[in-house]
Structure 1
């Protein structure tokens, strides 16, 4: 079983811990009222703008059965925090930028081209992708290299379902994910901070692992733009930047893909990027983390778990030196 438990031995509630939509709406309206009043300040206006983008007025429900094998028994990160504190450099390098600028992204119509070392190349539109396999809700930890983490209920199905459909041939050893590159929709592309388009990749056996999730939603709704709409990957045992967002192409290759962060800083961001408390980032320790939403910088640190607590993936790396292949 892949049921994940709180490392402190405390089982916390499920959906009751997710702040209801009505609370978010009332809080946002309250902030707006203050912001337009005589006591408005720049900081309040910034918060109001950020929360306005946190929830799309056209957000659609995304029905999915809860998969009990992935019922992580930890308090979930609030919807607000999960949608206003993001890494998505195509919309800016500050954590607050994507929530405020990603409104320009047009998640429909959308399609993904699947090509390379496969027997059945194809292009699938979003509706075809959604119908490919039953959608599941899975509660995953997400750990980012900067030292923060979240717990999010994602909606999707195992990436292996798509991989089986296209039938990789004997040359396929890796899977490459390519993100949308459109300066009209993505203002951050004007920055040379990374090589565009954003590219990530996995070994084929990693991509076939049941934990690898082809993801279309979170918190029971379609993905917000700033979280990678309309389709992304979620890999809970790896650092967050490995989970490619707004994917337009999946390519199966014989050679290891050149990935965005590994190109930008190979000494800091390895191809594998598994969560490993024993391998420090050159500029900070990875031995501990802070959970977003728990009193900010004053919150207690948590011990980082090997593979982010998902020990089932360990067999993928048997015999490898995980300090060398970081």
Structure 2
């Protein structure tokens, strides 16, 4: 397994341990004093997410654009459908299960999980396969920290993810001709999942995730196209063989298992060499085009994961 290349973090960017511990003490004391209830504490945790050295200097995408221009086919195929038709979706209470090739299978309430984890805010580039991009401030914790709780076995090579399937709350999963084989599934190689950039997001713009952005918990893998960052995760299973994934199953010639952002590998129906940042210039077609960066700009951190691989064959 290739060695990771961690970003260099300046001492000034690191929260002093004493300050961070006092924050935890405040949250615990406030809860004990009845100042915050069980339902309020996750929101407070997201708002108080500590800043991270994992960030880019690009201008943030306006919140209005990031929460109204989405791909979430469970709620419809148009970009505005998730915001328009996800109001009946109930992201709480919610449990997430981790099973498969692990020593300690677990099922845990998402709000309890948030309270256990060190939630931080990371500003990531986010690139969609349809040649649009955003820069978003996610609040979350490393997927690696969650997987370590379940203690993966040596035989585990991949991580499979599954979205909730709730036809009564997700109008996009019905119909006579389903777009995808529901529930939505995704997967990563274990070393990709354990990479420190791979995030389990529980918030955005300093608040909890709205339904259209994947509430209550989603994956964010910033060097891959956005459809790899599966939303509303209900189950994580560690497996030995490469798992089937939704878009790779539906259209294997168009969507590969790896789906790393690569300007040299075009989608069969459009170029991936450029992108349009949403929120710059007003509307998709008015946004200025930019050159697409290899691995979405994260090559220094993740290129070693794919040393020796043919990235056109393993698209």
Alignment TM-score > 0.5, same fold? yes
Distance, in Å, in 1 between the alignment partners of 2:232 and 2:156 is 23
Q: How does 1:54-203 map to 2 (within 5 A)?
A: 60-61=43-44, 62=46, 63-67=48-52, 69-191=53-175, 192-203=178-189
Match of 2:64, SS state, is: helix
Distance, in Å, in 2 between the alignment partners of 1:202 and 1:278 is 22
Deviation per residue, 1:217-273 (Å, 9 max, x gap): 000000000000000000000000000100000000011110000010000000000
Distance, in Å, in 1 between the alignment partners of 2:286 and 2:205 is 27
Distance, in Å, in 2 between the alignment partners of 1:71 and 1:202 is 22
Partner of 1:224: 210
Match of 2:113, SS state, is: helix
Shift in Å, 1:71 = 2.4
- In the superposition, the TM-score normalised over structure 1's length comes to 0.81
Partner of 1:271: 257
Partner of 2:7: 2
Distance, in Å, in 1 between the alignment partners of 2:171 and 2:218 is 19
Task: Give the 4+ runs in structure 1 shifted more than 4 A.
Answer: none
**CA contact 1:66–1:136 (8 Å) conserved in 2:** yes
Shift in Å, 1:164 = 1.0
1:320 aligns with 2:304: no
1:206 aligns with 2:156: no
Gaps of 5+ in 2: 1-5, 10-41
Deviation per residue, 1:68-119 (Å, 9 max, x gap): x212111000110000000000000000000000111101100011100000
After superposition, the CA RMSD in angstroms is 1.4
Partner of 1:308: 296
Aligned residues: 271
**CA contact 1:142–1:150 (8 Å) conserved in 2:** yes
Partner of 1:28: none
**CA contact 1:132–1:162 (8 Å) conserved in 2:** no
**CA contact 1:179–1:248 (8 Å) conserved in 2:** yes
Match of 2:216, SS state, is: coil
Deviation per residue, 1:43-76 (Å, 9 max, x gap): xxxxxxxxxxxxxxxx945220010x21211100
Partner of 1:215: 201
Q: How does 1:5-84 map to 2 (within 5 A)?
A: 60-61=43-44, 62=46, 63-67=48-52, 69-84=53-68
Shift in Å, 1:131 = 2.3
Distance, in Å, in 1 between the alignment partners of 2:68 and 2:287 is 18
Distance, in Å, in 1 between the alignment partners of 2:49 and 2:113 is 14
Partner of 1:56: none
